[in-house]
Structure 1
Amino acid sequence: MTTYAALLRGINVGGNKKVPMADLRTLLTGLGHTGVATYLQSGNAVFTSDHGDENSLATDLTTAIEKHFGFTVDVLVRDHAYLESVRAACPFPAAELQGKQLHVTYLSQTPDASRFESLDQPAFLPEEFRIGDRALYLYAPEGLGRSKLAETLAKPRLVKGLIATTRNWNTVVKLAELTGAG
């Protein structure tokens, strides 16, 4: 059995795409997964499974959500080893920062660095970003909501063809812990 985290993009934000966590747990259990738990209301679920891979598990959950709720939600599924490697590879001093200052955008694949060549990175300082393994690390000292760099990084030309969903550092750490507890 492998423990995974399902990361749902853009649910329960501003009254749109409402997915109650109890319903999400029921859907995951109905797909044959065990040890199902949710974390926060923003689309984080942990489960164990002995069938499928990350992509097929994400596809199955996306299909179940669309069938049950009538709308599409982008889903990424990642195992504990990956989540822990993202936490461990952080290029910023996470222990010295507040959780709201550091974010990880999980991506469906590692983007080619050339997508970001046109960005005038010094213009955004002290905000910075780094590309990791299917992840983008963002240091935003004033938080994500005030980050001009985060706004720019979310532009369609930079994320075209990718599923991308962002979590603050506290959630990154918690998901690595929760998936490692099994």
Structure 2
Amino acid sequence: MMSFQVEFTRDVLRSLIGQSLREVSYLYSGGSTPPDDAGRLHEVPYGLRLVTSRSVPTTLTWLMEDECEALVAVEGSGEDVGITDLIEAHDVSASTGWRPLLGPVITKAGMSWHRAVPECPPTPWACRLEFGSSGAFVAVLAETRGETLQYQPDNVAVLFERRDAEALHWSGSDHSAWGGDI
């Protein structure tokens, strides 16, 4: 059983509906920086931090305890789930994928759950925010290997195309990365 209540991720994502996105930062270990505008797929070692119109940051990051693995959303900068001073936030708001999502209201949220191993409770592996006709993004536990994504519990990838999220499936989950509305 995970000590962090992963069910709170649903509540945190729901609380973002009706807010507008103002800023996005990717979280990297000290000295590393995000690549210049990575296109429709961004790989982020420690996750991302969103700042909305209510000015409270929301951090999406990975969490592992024993064999249990989750993508979690927490209010704040993520200290309670292991984001430390050694992790640096890099503003990527101006990148092509994020630019259309800054300003429009978040209209829907969604998640996809999995069971990493039978002994673990179901945990989120993908989280989605939609911005009406302006687009959406989905954060997933994954990393790129060549031209494809592979499940990786200690890494986050961001998808900006619905078709890419709907095509992504992991074992242990009944749903694609697009998931279901919450």
Provide the TM-score with structure 1 as the length reference.
Answer: 0.24
Provide the TM-score with structure 2 as the length reference.
Answer: 0.24
Higher strand share: 2
Max Rg structure? 1
